[in-house]
Amino acid sequence: MLTARNISYDYPDRQVLRGVSLSLAPGEVLAVLGQNGAGKSTLLRCLAGALKPTGQVVLDGRPLQSVPPGERARLLAFVPQHVPTRLPMTVFEAVLLGRRPYLSWRPRPQDLEAAWEALSLLGLEELAQREFSEISGGQRQKVALARALAQESRLLVMDEPTSSLDLRHQLEVMTLLCAQAEERDTGVILAVHDLNLAARYASRALLLCSGRVLAEGAPDEVLTEALIREAYGVDVLRVQTGAGAMLFPLSAVGGRA
């Protein structure tokens, strides 16, 4: 459904991505991992069409850049890392923005229903009529996710969608994303910092280090003590538990514990 072949991206002052390739099939949940500055956000922006990398990104059999923006928006929903803190509209209206690719001026009943369904999936019904600017940071992040779900795309590209959420909501959101992948065959790509979350929910993981793919495969193969030490500069203890492998950070390599 989405393939990247040997893509690289440079910002004016530094090279961020170097020859990254990946592919995503429908129903897969791909976790993009790596330390701060490894290129996760840049990679996701390239995949979402927000940046134009060298190399090739293919969406649904066509080069991404040749897909008209309106059509691309029906195939792929993108949740940027930074969600606006203020929007002069209600939560429901903020979610309804995700229906833009299907709308001309007046939302049709099915648009309103899709927005409401997305809100309900994230448990935001109570907030629907509140002003967006008045809700908490975690709630705003869930609104951004609901907006992406309302888009009813076949692919979700999300930059740290759980970063502002507490434990319970992290688990809820990850469960929801896996359910979307399983039930609707949605492809999901997300950048995450929490390795345990990735290990538990992702069907595949991609580990970036200085803009290159260090490892790619099943989370168990990627999240090894040696690879994490290389990518994050951290010694971890990996313990097999009833809920799968768990990673416990021990100390920064070369630093003080």
Residue ranges binding another protein (CB under 8 A): 45, 48-50, 68-73, 76-78, 80, 82-84, 86-90, 92-94, 96-98, 100-101, 103, 105, 109, 112-113, 115-117, 119-120, 125, 128-129, 131, 133-134, 144, 147, 151
DSSP 90: B
Give me the residues paired with residue 66 across strands.
Answer: none
H or E element in which residue 171 lies: helix 167-184
Q: CA nearest 42: which of 9, 4, 13?
A: 9
| Least distance in angstroms from the C-beta of 53 to another protein | 15
157 contact partners, CB below 8 Å, separation of at least 6: 44, 47, 48, 76, 77, 78, 79, 189, 190
Nearer to another protein, 86 or 256 (CB): 86
Q: What is the spatial distance between Cα 71 and Cα 62, in angstroms, rounded to a whole number?
A: 12
Residue placing its CB nearer to another protein in the complex, 26 or 70: 70
CB of 110 to another protein, least distance (A): 10
Half-sphere exposure of 164 (CA within 13 A, CB side): 17
Sign of CA dihedral 133, 138, 144, 146: negative
Considering the complex, what minimum distance in angstroms separates the CB of residue 205 from another protein? 24
Choose between 151 and 223: whose C-beta lies nearer to another protein.
151
CB 63 to another protein: min, Å:
17
Q: Which is nearer to another protein, 94 or 222 (CB)?
A: 94
Nearer to another protein, 92 or 232 (CB): 92
